Structure 1
Amino acid sequence: MNWEAVGAIGEVAGGIVVIVTILYLARQIRENSRIAKAESQRALLETAQIWAPIATTPGLVTELRKAVQSYESLDPDSQGRFTFMLYPLINRVESAYRMHQQGMIDEDAYLGWMYALAAFLREPGLSAWWSDLKQVIGPEFIAALDEILLDEEVPPLSSAWKFLGRES
């Protein structure tokens, strides 16, 4: 065997090692992407806990009900509390929108968040509130959400959460 044959065998072996390494790295990248996507979706699902203070603080459900019926009739303190109650939801939905754009959550999870917020914003008392809040939220997200709000199939949230539709 001469040195040229040994060199050729070395080049073939090196090529095989490079191919195996590339295949291994591609598999690792896919696995890491799958884990990151699952973690993103899990983190969004955990945000349901933002409602715990509303459910456990006396009077907040009543205030939430009044806000969705007629936000403008609330006193300034109640309007502020309502905004601070609902803003985390908007923040989470905007996060879902951005994650969906980056392929970090699937279409169903994204649409679930968007339609849930749209159902809230369909409540009769929230149009003025939403118009004001639009000024401090990203325009791309606003456009996507406004498109969903045009869908006549999205009912107001009070049709599912009956306690939102009645005065106390």
Structure 2
Amino acid sequence: MKDNDDKEERKIILESLLDVLRQHHQAMSTTHSHNQATHHPSDLAQPVLELLVEWSRDKRTKLSQDVFQVLGDFCQQELGHVPRDVQITVLVAVFNRLGVETFDVVKTYVKAAVKQMCAALSQNALLGVCLALLGNEHLSQAGRPLVLDLVAMSVLPTMDKSFSLCAREPMID
């Protein structure tokens, strides 16, 4: 019986996260069509972050992989028209804002979601994303090691080809 309760609780958590994200995305889309300057991918991180932190503080909540898998699913389904580098920026922004009060398991799943999305990019595109993220003044000490991990994923397999990308314009203000 307890397993069924856990599954039901996870389902409620997933649905609540998707609802918040959809509402926020609709608000951003409306804002985006009227005034492009106010639209920034890291804005989407805030509602996600608030839910993750709330869940991490609640010991009764089962922080399962399902909860964090939905981040990637949301990016694919609800943000399908948004470039992959923007989707990754959203998740890195979430990770970047996770404080010390957040359970390590939360950070682990957000990291996994970012890496899974990055794996779908070409190595050149991934390196471009990483360089832009590293150049972002809002990237905290917590976020840097994650981005450096992504740099390693992109650079190490093609060391001889990768450096021509360093002259690219950053994709993030």
Decide: shared fold, TM above 0.5.
Answer: no
Coarse TM-score class (shorter-chain normalised): 0.3 to 0.5
Which structure: larger Rg?
Answer: 1
TM-score of the pair, normalised by structure 2:
0.37
RCO comparison, higher one (Cα < 8 Å, 6+) = 1
